[in-house]
Chains A and B, each alone.
Chain A
Amino acid sequence: MATEPLSRWKVLSDRYYDNHHQWIHYEGTLVTVGISDYTQDSAGDILYVSLPEPGAILEKGQPFGSIESGKWVGQLYAPFNGVVIAANDTVKESPQLLNQDPYGRGWLIKAKVDNPTAESQWMSNQDYREFLATMIDL
């Protein structure tokens, strides 16, 4: 809710975020995508993860996989056009890593981005903190 302290959810300053609560991190020419602490916290126990195979084409805004927590299937949306270079087999085997370490061992895919200047469309960590502050209860 809007009055909750911003510190409730961890936000790392070394990466970008999109409005699907996914993080995007540049490592040289590769971009890693994962879910934010907010997502894992509000989802609860994550039980299943479905990810694309390497070589899969990512189309910005289109689902590239899904996660299931409790009784909810949530889509994962491609933050950019590109191609999947690697998917994290460890989280497919152990989805609880997404709860335990969403910014580290719980990464989802590594990809090559078609447009190298794509980062201008994402939120900085500060913008994302403000975005989180607007989340409301019904």
Chain B
Amino acid sequence: MSDRVDSVQLMPDIRLPAEAKYKNELDALAAHDDKPRPPGWALSPRAVETYILGSPKPVGGVAITPKYVGDKGLIQVCIATLASDRALMLVGEPGTAKSWLSEHLSAAISGTSALVVQGTAGTSEDHIKYSWNYALLLAQGPTPEALVPSPILRAMRTGKFARFEEVTRTSPEIQDSLISILSEKQVSVPELGEITSAQRGFNLIATANTRDRGVNEMSAALKRRFNFVTVPVVEDLEQEIQIVTKREAELRTDYQVGVPPPEELSRVLLTLFHELRKGVTKDGKTKVRTPGAVLSTAEAISVLFNSSILAQQFGSGTVTSQELAASLVGAVVKEQEDDVKALREYMETVAKSRTGPWKELYTASKKLLRG
């Protein structure tokens, strides 16, 4: 606890990596883990599962909080894949906690989630294999000191997990440089005349988006190196409320800002998200237009967090429909003008006729959506 206070005073990192934030949980699990661990793993598969899904009973006096709420089978497939020689590919719609899951899996299994390559259109083979410190290269010629290893190469050398975010944003030729890494588990550096082979414990977790336009389809050869796990959109309203409330509270603690929003409003927000996503109201009676913007769980978290900051800084100090409406409009209406219409339609046909906070939300949004 004193740790916490100190770190606050010293202006800590905005966001701690999973392995630092949940260090006490990971330590407790490692200390009480009597199951065999695959080579290079910090925890046994069963302990990793407990870490991700949480445990109803504290382990070694430490409560294990759930990091992912959802299908147990899905997590087990992830862990089983990582214990094999195939890499894991998490696919799904944006905001379904793919990266979140990948971070926690790496943290639990390898003890680090920092070896990450972010896939973009500008990602080159250098980012995947290695590049050079050109000053040293010019001064000394190709030497091991002048080599700048990529996160993946570092993971191979140390037998850790590497993470590759948004693989499909990278061009297919660059993606394919992963093939040899994943099948031969080695990277050759011809300039030095040496080959780096992966230490036991190395594996790769990649994520890819199924919704974004303009993504590059992966080659069949690369696909064969992965086991695919589809991370689903949360279908269950109660479950999503639980996830969003929990994550939003964590964000408030991390950023030391905002006031807790009332439960009632979280429910309103997520019901709205669910209904807009499905295109039909909860009772199945009214059809609503689905906006083009992605209405993910992550988006809901951000809307709720945003309104809690608004309320604290510019509002009355408690989150009301006013703040929620303001954040909501910003989140839903991002790309297309049509989305304004979809939201306005929803407010007119659905929110208007409901009671309590819905009514206030309707009034608050009416002004914002006029246009």
Q: Do A and B truly interact?
A: no
Chain A residues packing against B (C-beta within 8 Å): none
